[in-house]
Structure 1
Amino acid sequence: MPATLTELNVYPLKGGGGTPLTSAELTATGLRHDREFMLATPEGRFMSQRDHAGMARIRPSYDGEVLTARAPGVPPLVHRPTGDGEVLDVTVHRDDCQGVDQGDTAAAWFSALLGTDCRLVRFTGRRETSRGDGEVMFADAYPLLVISAESLADLNGRLDEPLPMNRFRPTLVVEGLGAYGEDSVRLMRIGETVIELVRSCGRCVVTTTDQETGERGREPLRTLASYRTIDHGIRFGQNGVPRTPGKLTLGDPVDVLESK
């Protein structure tokens, strides 16, 4: 069976929930608007579900003009991004980068929701990927995460209770490569785009966080560790870098151009 693209997800706010799409524009930094916004501590450190599991319950959407953030039990934040705010020095893991502060109203909304002081910033400048000579905004290290649907099916066959794909927060899900088939792909064409898969994705405590409730458990890390520990890390999915930008649409054919 030919491989196809079955899911497209964009994450306008780093650490927030994903927005499923039927089509998207792939740019040099990933899907348009992916991780364009981030919450930062007063010291400028990025915030994510690793330390703030409640971020899983935030549902952001961004159409290029208005950022809307929704969360249970509170009125939504409707924010028109500004490019005139103070440029703040911020960090994503060990990377130094910059973001434009989005003002006190947005900061107050997120601070009250999460119970800690923070600022909403919008990416500015340029940031390079850890490997692969690509560009990225506020994502951890790479602009794309590709997972095969069969990989999740294989994992779920080992679990007492199956988990949804959103535990792994992919941008692209493909079907037809087989379980862990993404591991052996170097270059793939999806629709009119070309993507290079440059490094397997190390998994962390975020995968144990229910993306609807923010509650944490032990799976899937416990099970993944038993058979997907590679190079001293638990690996699931492949990080990718766009090589040819263009439009992506659900149902697009996926062609393997080069294997590892």
Structure 2
Amino acid sequence: MQLSDIRIYPLKSGSGSSRESAVVEPWGLAGDRRWAVIGAGGDDLRLGEFPKKLTVTARNLADGGLALTAPGMPDLTLPPAEGGQRVPVGFSGLDHAVLAAPQAHGWFTWLLGHPARLVWLDDPRRRPVAPRHGGLPGDTVSFASDAPLLLTSLSSLKRLDEWIIEGAAERGEDPPQPLEMARFRPSVVIDGAEPYEEDGWAEVRIGEVDFRVTVICDRCAVTMIDPATAMKGREPLRTLARHRKWDGKTWFGIRLVPRNTGAISVGDPVTPLRRR
């Protein structure tokens, strides 16, 4: 097994970009999800309600600022938020974040058609991984949902696509196009495992970095939004509910907490260290 893709999402719920390598920090990949969009009251503007966030491409700048692009919007370059105003936020385990430059708020308000502000997480060590998601004392996370990293497998996606095609045939429908892995918003994608083999892992090593598996990832309606069009369909939850549903939820991928830090690169070996 080997690492086949690494994806960074500078903006929570924004589009991701593939990298050949990345640095693993205690709270996730360096540069991943340190920025987020909130409402006027500090609430998280969730992707399911505001799918246009998927159309935003955010790029971390060397000086700590952020570059933003989106279809139909002017490009925007923001300075670092360091030293900005602290405001209350509604993310679990976190009481406040730092406001970005004022021009960001108008940009996102126009894009989403809803009052919005951009915030930066100054210190990810302030946000713990929730115990209900497998967090232990000392585990921390950025603005990412529930764990520092999410691992998915190409073979598991291939099996899911096969199930979707089988279901379409049973309904007399034309076979759909394969799903993009981007729907599942992984941090790392592996190749060479058996389909859903990752479900049974308790610890895994990627390159020279060890990870503890906290939980299998339960999937929400966000996966039904096509990242290319921001339009919502019925897959993959319809098919996951048929083949991968238990405890009232559907499941795809596993959540990881780093045991140590270091660099990982595409092509690194992936080795399960302990199974459940």
The count of residues paired between Structure 1 and Structure 2 equals 257
- Alpha-carbon offset, residue 64 of structure 1: 4.4
Q: Which residue number in structure 2 is paired with residue 146 of structure 1?
A: 151
Contact 2:5 2:266 in 1 (8 A): yes
- Does residue 156 (structure 1) correspond to residue 161 (structure 2)? The answer is yes
Q: Which amino acid aligns with 1:192?
A: E
Q: Which residue number in structure 2 is paired with residue 82 of structure 1?
A: 81
Q: Which residue number in structure 1 is paired with residue 128 of structure 2?
A: 128
Contact 2:34 2:120 in 1 (8 A): yes
Structure 2 Cα separation of the partners of residues 156 and 22 of structure 1: 26
Q: Which residue number in structure 2 is paired with residue 97 of structure 1?
A: 95
Contact 2:82 2:122 in 1 (8 A): no
- Alpha-carbon offset, residue 212 of structure 1: 1.3
Q: Which amino acid aligns with 1:217?
A: G
Structure 2 Cα separation of the partners of residues 82 and 144 of structure 1: 24
- Alpha-carbon offset, residue 38 of structure 1: 0.4
- Range 249-258 or range 121-130, more displaced: 121-130
Contact 1:98 1:124 in 2 (8 A): no
Q: 2:193 aligns with which of 167, 177, 181?
A: 177
Contact 1:19 1:60 in 2 (8 A): no
- Alpha-carbon offset, residue 42 of structure 1: 0.6
Q: Which residue number in structure 2 is paired with residue 8 of structure 1?
A: 6
Q: Which amino acid aligns with 1:151?
A: S
- Does residue 244 (structure 1) correspond to residue 244 (structure 2)? The answer is no
In structure 2, the CA distance between the partners of 1:259 and 1:63, relative to structure 1 (3 Å rule), is farther
C-alpha offsets along residues 82-134 of structure 1, whole Å, 9 cap, x if unaligned?
21211111012x43332100121011111111111111000134111022321
Contact 2:79 2:101 in 1 (8 A): no
The 3-state SS of whatever aligns with 1:38 is: strand
Structure 2 Cα separation of the partners of residues 81 and 110 of structure 1: 17
Contact 1:128 1:136 in 2 (8 A): yes
- Alpha-carbon offset, residue 146 of structure 1: 0.5
Q: Which residue number in structure 2 is paired with residue 197 of structure 1?
A: 213
Q: Which residue number in structure 2 is paired with residue 216 of structure 1?
A: 232
Structure 2 Cα separation of the partners of residues 115 and 50 of structure 1: 15
Question: So what's the TM-score if we normalise by structure 1?
Answer: 0.96
- Structure 2 gaps, min length 5: 166-175
Q: Which residue number in structure 2 is paired with residue 26 of structure 1?
A: 24
- Range 56-65 or range 203-212, more displaced: 56-65
Q: Which has the larger radius of gyration?
A: 2
Q: Which residue number in structure 2 is paired with residue 226 of structure 1?
A: 242
- Alpha-carbon offset, residue 63 of structure 1: 3.6
In structure 2, the CA distance between the partners of 1:63 and 1:189, relative to structure 1 (3 Å rule), is farther
C-alpha offsets along residues 146-199 of structure 1, whole Å, 9 cap, x if unaligned?
011100000001124220100100001011121001101111111111111110
Q: Which has the higher strand share?
A: 1
Q: Which has the higher helix share?
A: 2
Contact 1:69 1:76 in 2 (8 A): yes
Structure 2 Cα separation of the partners of residues 244 and 230 of structure 1: 32
- Structure 1 gaps, min length 5: none
Structure 2 Cα separation of the partners of residues 115 and 197 of structure 1: 38
Q: Which residue number in structure 2 is paired with residue 71 of structure 1?
A: 70
- Alpha-carbon offset, residue 55 of structure 1: 0.9
Contact 1:15 1:47 in 2 (8 A): no
Structure 1 Cα separation of the partners of residues 2 and 205 of structure 2: 10
- Range 58-67 or range 243-252, more displaced: 58-67
- Alpha-carbon offset, residue 62 of structure 1: 0.8
The 3-state SS of whatever aligns with 1:91 is: coil
